[in-house]
Structure 1
Amino acid sequence: MNEAPLSALFILLAALIVMSAFFSSSETGMMTLNRYRLKHLAKTGHRGAKRASKMLQRTDQLIGVILIGNNFVNIFASSIATVIAIRLWGDAGIAIATILLTVVILIFAEVTPKTLAALFPERIAFPASYVLQPLLKILYPIVWLVNLFTGAILKLLRVSAKDASSEHLSREELRTLVNEAGALIPRKHKDMLVSILDLEKVTVNDIMVPRNEVVGIDLDDDLETILRQARNSQHTRLPVFKGDINNIQGMLHLRNLSKLLMQEDINKAMIMQLCREPYFIPESTPLHLQLINFQKAKRRIGIVVDEYGDVLGIATLEDILEEIVGDFTTDYAATSPDIIPQDDGTYIIDGSAHIRTINKMLGWKLPTDGPKTLNGLITETLETIPENNVCLKVNGVRIEVLQIKDNVVKAATVHPPLRRQKLRTGT
Structure 2
Amino acid sequence: MNDAPLGLLFTALAGLIVLSAFFSSSETGMMSINRYRLKHLTKKKHRAALRVAGLLKRPDRLIGVILIGNNLVNILASSIATVIALRLYGDAGIAIATLLLTLTILVFAEVTPKTLAALYPEKIAFPASLILRPLLYLLYPAVWLINHIASGLARLFGVDPTGNSATEHLRPEELRTVVDEAGDLIPDQHQGMLLNILDLEKATVEDIMIPRNEIVGLNLEDDIPTLMQQIRHADYTRLPVYEGDINKVVGMLHLRNVARFVYGDDSTITRDAIRRFSRAPYFVPESTPLHIQLLNFQKEKRRIGVVVDEYGEVLGLVTLEDLLEEIVGDFTTNRAEEQSEEIRPLSDGWFMIEGSASIRDINRNLNWELPTDGPKTLNGLVVEYLENIPDAHVSFEIQRYRFETAEISAKMIEKARVCELPKRR
3-state SS in 2 of match to 1:372: coil
TM-score (norm 2): 0.93
User: Gapped runs of 5+ residues in structure 2?
Assistant: none
2:345 counterpart letter in structure 1:
P
Q: Which moved more, 1:285-294 or 1:49-58?
A: 285-294
Report the counterpart of residue 376 of structure 1 in structure 2.
380
CA contact (8 A) 2:155 2:161 kept: no
CA contact (8 A) 1:365 1:395 kept: no
- Residue correspondences, number: 421
Query: Structure 2 CA distance, aligned partners of 1:337 and 1:157?
Result: 65
Report the counterpart of residue 107 of structure 1 in structure 2.
107
Asked if 1:312 is matched to 2:312, the reply is no
Query: Structure 2 CA distance, aligned partners of 1:419 and 1:155?
Result: 51
Report the counterpart of residue 140 of structure 1 in structure 2.
140
Report the counterpart of residue 60 of structure 2 in structure 1.
60
CA positional deviation for 1:176: 2.4
CA contact (8 A) 1:239 1:248 kept: yes
1:168 counterpart letter in structure 2:
H
Query: Structure 2 CA distance, aligned partners of 1:183 and 1:124?
Result: 26
Q: Which moved more, 1:400-409 or 1:365-374?
A: 400-409
CA contact (8 A) 1:334 1:341 kept: no
2:105 counterpart letter in structure 1:
I
Report the counterpart of residue 269 of structure 1 in structure 2.
272
> Residues 116-265 of structure 1 correspond to what in structure 2 (within 5 A)?
116-165=116-165, 166-264=167-265, 265=268
TM-score (norm 1): 0.92
User: Judging changes above 3 Å, is the alpha-carbon distance between structure 1 residues 342 and 56 closer, same or farther for their aligned structure 2 residues?
Assistant: same
Query: Structure 1 CA distance, aligned partners of 2:153 and 2:32?
Result: 26
Query: Structure 2 CA distance, aligned partners of 1:144 and 1:39?
Result: 27
Query: For each residue in 1:293-348, what CA deviation from the matched residue of structure 2 results, as whole angstroms up to 9, or x when unmatched?
Result: 22222211111111222111111111221122222259999986111123543221
Asked if 1:290 is matched to 2:267, the reply is no
Report the counterpart of residue 322 of structure 1 in structure 2.
325
2:312 counterpart letter in structure 1:
G
User: Judging changes above 3 Å, is the alpha-carbon distance between structure 1 residues 161 and 190 closer, same or farther for their aligned structure 2 residues?
Assistant: farther
Query: For each residue in 1:13-61, what CA deviation from the matched residue of structure 2 results, as whole angstroms up to 9, or x when unmatched?
Result: 1121111011011101111222122111221232222211110001122
CA positional deviation for 1:71: 0.8
User: Judging changes above 3 Å, is the alpha-carbon distance between structure 1 residues 161 and 189 closer, same or farther for their aligned structure 2 residues?
Assistant: farther
Query: For each residue in 1:259-291, what CA deviation from the matched residue of structure 2 results, as whole angstroms up to 9, or x when unmatched?
Result: 333434222211111011111111111112222
Report the counterpart of residue 362 of structure 2 in structure 1.
358
User: Judging changes above 3 Å, is the alpha-carbon distance between structure 1 residues 326 and 221 closer, same or farther for their aligned structure 2 residues?
Assistant: same
CA positional deviation for 1:110: 1.3
CA positional deviation for 1:157: 4.4
2:285 counterpart letter in structure 1:
P
User: Judging changes above 3 Å, is the alpha-carbon distance between structure 1 residues 252 and 330 closer, same or farther for their aligned structure 2 residues?
Assistant: closer
User: Judging changes above 3 Å, is the alpha-carbon distance between structure 1 residues 362 and 379 closer, same or farther for their aligned structure 2 residues?
Assistant: same
Query: Structure 2 CA distance, aligned partners of 1:206 and 1:412?
Result: 20
3-state SS in 2 of match to 1:163: coil
Report the counterpart of residue 398 of structure 1 in structure 2.
402
Report the counterpart of residue 36 of structure 2 in structure 1.
36
CA positional deviation for 1:155: 4.3
Query: Structure 2 CA distance, aligned partners of 1:259 and 1:289?
Result: 34
2:387 counterpart letter in structure 1:
E
Query: Structure 2 CA distance, aligned partners of 1:16 and 1:260?
Result: 92
Asked if 1:96 is matched to 2:99, the reply is no
3-state SS in 1 of match to 2:260: coil
User: Judging changes above 3 Å, is the alpha-carbon distance between structure 1 residues 233 and 184 closer, same or farther for their aligned structure 2 residues?
Assistant: same
Task: Give the fraction of aligned pairs with identical amino acids, expressed as a percent.
Answer: 61
User: Judging changes above 3 Å, is the alpha-carbon distance between structure 1 residues 83 and 336 closer, same or farther for their aligned structure 2 residues?
Assistant: farther
CA contact (8 A) 2:389 2:410 kept: no
3-state SS in 1 of match to 2:261: coil
CA positional deviation for 1:415: 1.6
CA positional deviation for 1:217: 0.7
What RMSD, in angstroms, separates the aligned Cα atoms of the two structures?
A: 2.3
Query: Structure 1 CA distance, aligned partners of 2:120 and 2:396?
Result: 54
Query: Structure 2 CA distance, aligned partners of 1:96 and 1:162?
Result: 44
Query: Structure 2 CA distance, aligned partners of 1:119 and 1:135?
Result: 25
Q: Which moved more, 1:317-326 or 1:351-360?
A: 317-326
Q: Which moved more, 1:22-31 or 1:195-204?
A: 195-204
Report the counterpart of residue 83 of structure 2 in structure 1.
83
CA positional deviation for 1:245: 1.1
Query: Structure 1 CA distance, aligned partners of 2:144 and 2:309?
Result: 64
Query: Structure 1 CA distance, aligned partners of 2:147 and 2:247?
Result: 71
CA contact (8 A) 1:211 1:311 kept: yes
2:377 counterpart letter in structure 1:
T
Report the counterpart of residue 416 of structure 1 in structure 2.
420
Query: Structure 2 CA distance, aligned partners of 1:78 and 1:329?
Result: 74
CA positional deviation for 1:122: 1.8
Query: Structure 2 CA distance, aligned partners of 1:159 and 1:286?
Result: 39
1:113 counterpart letter in structure 2:
P
Query: Structure 2 CA distance, aligned partners of 1:91 and 1:343?
Result: 86
3-state SS in 1 of match to 2:306: strand
Query: Structure 2 CA distance, aligned partners of 1:156 and 1:375?
Result: 61
Report the counterpart of residue 345 of structure 1 in structure 2.
349
User: Gapped runs of 5+ residues in structure 1?
Assistant: 422-427
Query: Structure 1 CA distance, aligned partners of 2:32 and 2:424?
Result: 39
CA contact (8 A) 1:42 1:49 kept: yes
